[in-house]
């Protein structure tokens, strides 16, 4: 099993759910370069492991999912090293976004700056009722660098995204739900169980079809791809899968589907 210094990697063989916990509680799980590298390594390990079928990403403790980037580390960067840091963060977070295995962010507190960006890279977001979201980078003379300007706009629209990015306002979980930034808000004590139940529902579905849906939705936002053509291509490909044969047979035979790997 993979071991890490800044996160906990906890697969559950029975459910197929991997929980990745950002584990720098003394820093409110703030992201530094080493942690970002470990997120990428953990995601790659999960994608390579056929026993892992779905992923939950959360933070340790009750105060923070990820309270932002490690400011002491950022202070030492220049224009060249800063660009490379952004590229490394974007590469790690794109690995999450492009995963064909569903990824849910269990946001258990502050999700600010890089923490908000990490949550937005996940396919679904569930927030505890004490969660807070924001992109406060302009307070530091910076801008989001890990995809925040792009994903926030995709999720809540240009006008509101610009307002949050330009004012650096921090919003509560109920406002994040109203804006469409999160899918659900639950009491903190129920957060992980709710995420596991939600992910377990997804994992009863055809895994190849789930991955294709994620790919199609991502294609809508990719300027180098044609979303409708991607959908048509993958729709056709689905007819050649074992999942399709099992799903249609189960429907016609009036029984639950037993998809391979479920």
Q: Could you list the active site residues?
A: 117, 137
What's the angle, vertex CA 58, arms to CA 261 and CA 69, rounded to 5?
Answer: 130
Q: By three-state DSSP, how is residue 198 classified?
A: helix
Report the C-alpha dihedral over residues 234, 235, 236, 237, rounded to 10 degrees: 40
User: Which helix (H) or strand (E) segment is 121 a member of?
Assistant: helix 114-121
49 within 8 A of 11, measured Cβ to Cβ: yes
User: Which helix (H) or strand (E) segment is 133 a member of?
Assistant: strand 132-134
Give the whole-angstrom CA distance, residue 75 versus residue 210. 41
Burial class (CB in 10 A: 0-12, 13-18, 19+), 175: middle
In a 13 Å sphere around the CA of 2, the CA atoms on its Cβ side amount to 24
């Amino acid at each position: 099993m993979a071991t890490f210094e800044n996160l906990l990697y906890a697969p559950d063989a029975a459910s197929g759910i991997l929980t990745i916990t950002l584990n720098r509680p003394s820093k409110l799980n703030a992201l530094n370069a080493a942690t970002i590298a470990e997120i990428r390594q953990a995601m790659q390990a999960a994608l390579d492991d056929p026993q892992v079928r779905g992923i939950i990403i959360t933070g340790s403790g009750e105060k923070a999912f990820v309270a932002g980037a490690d400011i002491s580390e950022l202070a030492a960067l220049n224009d060249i090293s800063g660009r490379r840091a952004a590229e490394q963060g974007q590469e790690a977070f794109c690995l999450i976004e492009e995963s064909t295995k569903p990824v849910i962010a269990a946001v258990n507190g502050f999700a600010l700056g890089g923490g908000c960006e990490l949550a937005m890279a996940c396919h679904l977001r569930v927030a505890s009722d004490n969660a807070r979201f924001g992109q406060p980078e302009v307070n530091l003379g910076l801008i989001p660098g890990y995809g925040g300007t792009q994903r926030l706009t995709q999720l809540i629209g240009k006008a509101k995204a610009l307002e949050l990015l330009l004012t650096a306002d921090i919003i509560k979980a109920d406002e994040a739900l109203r804006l469409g930034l999160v899918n659900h808000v639950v009491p903190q004590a129920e957060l992980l169980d709710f995420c596991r139940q939600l992910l377990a529902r997804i994992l009863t579905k055809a895994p190849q079809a789930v991955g294709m849906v994620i790919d199609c939705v991502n294609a809508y936002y990719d300027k180098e791809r044609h979303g409708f053509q991607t959908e048509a291509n993958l729709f056709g490909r689905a007819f050649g899968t074992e999942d399709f044969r099992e799903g249609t047979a189960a429907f016609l035979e009036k029984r639950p589907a037993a998809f391979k790997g479920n």
